[in-house]
Amino acid sequence: MFPGVVRFEVDPTKAAVFFTTAQIAYILTTGLSKLGVGLVLFRLASGANMRAVRIILIISMLIVTLLCLVTTLIFGLQCRPLSVAWGVGKGACLSTSVLGTTGLALSGMDVTISWFYALLPVYMLYKTQLRLKIKIMIMGLLGLGAVSSIAIIVRIKYLVDLSRLTSASGGLATQDAVEITLEGTVYSILEIALSILAASMTALRPLLMKIPGFKDDPSHPAGLGSVITFGHGSVRKIPSYHLDDRDVSVVDSQEHIVPARPLTSG
């Protein structure tokens, strides 16, 4: 027992249940986060000259959806019944090498899509009439998906080690598999967090507009508040109106009042 270290008594079966469930939930969350980034780009690329971009985005989102569903089925059916994965009951399980190879395929897709979604805004913003600071900010936010790929690349090491456990079976909750993949799970959480942040770019716009230099300026009308869609070499801007911005003189308003006419009898 090391001084200053607290050890908690953990039920191994319950821990294995949560670990197996977390791996399956990670696959679904990865797919949803990538679809979120793709839908943000799809919404922005609505110009007539962005038709090819929209088609490519649709194809990429279909690939992400299909591969994540297949991977979820493989991990969800890694043992029959699934309870065998955490040591309850008897049944058959896929070898950890199969699960590791499947995880490598998912990670390869994840890295490719992350970099594709990170570099695509460079092309989309190339001809837009935006200030350089705004362009850099938008590309930085959407490029967080590429940063998340660093966590994926680090995690690949653990997946390679997992795929080499050729003689192991019993699902991801076996002792050997847990010892290999537990540290890599931390990088998985970091990857998803960065992907969700990139997908929340449009929701973060009101917050970022409070930062000096990012909000709309009369001398630079194409500010962050103007970013709606990309296409036609410009940014489409939806005007906003505020009653407080109108300078209406009370004295001048009297000129438009119709004078009252005296009532006449008969």
Q: What is the 3 state secondary structure string of 56-120?
A: HHHHHHHHHHHHHHHHHHHHHCCEECHHHHHCCCCCEECEHHHHHHHHHHHHHHHHHHHHHHHHH
* Residue 176 lies inside a defined structural domain of this protein: yes
**Is 102 in contact with 71 (CB distance < 8 Å)?**
yes
Other beta carbons within 10 Å of 187: 19
In whole angstroms, give the CA distance from residue 40 to residue 140. 14
Instruction: Note the pLDDT tens digit of each residue in 20-44.
Output: 888 889 889 889 988 988 888 888 8
* Residue 223 lies inside a defined structural domain of this protein: no
Instruction: Note the pLDDT tens digit of each residue in 133-163.
Output: 777 777 776 666 677 777 777 777 777 777 6
> Considering only 101-110, 112-121, 203-212, 256-265, which range has the smallest mean pLDDT?
256-265
Q: Which residues, other chains included, contact 182 with Cβ-Cβ below 8 Å and sequence gap of 6+?
A: 19
Q: What is the pLDDT of residue 103?
A: 82
Instruction: Note the pLDDT tens digit of each residue in 199-257.
Output: 776 676 677 667 665 555 555 444 444 444 555 544 444 444 444 444 545 555 555 45
**Is 49 in contact with 94 (CB distance < 8 Å)?**
no
* Residue 60 lies inside a defined structural domain of this protein: yes
Q: For residue 179, give its domain range.
A: 12-208
Instruction: Note the pLDDT tens digit of each residue in 173-192.
Output: 566 666 666 777 777 777 78
Other beta carbons within 10 Å of 147: 17
Beta strands in the chain (DSSP E): 79-80, 92-93, 229-231, 234-236
Average pLDDT, stretch 53-76? 93
In whole angstroms, give the CA distance from residue 143 to residue 41. 12
Number of structural domains found in the chain: 1
What values do phi and psi take at 169, rounded to 5?
-145, 165
* Residue 230 lies inside a defined structural domain of this protein: no
Burial of 237 (0-12, 13-18, 19+ CB in 10 A): middle
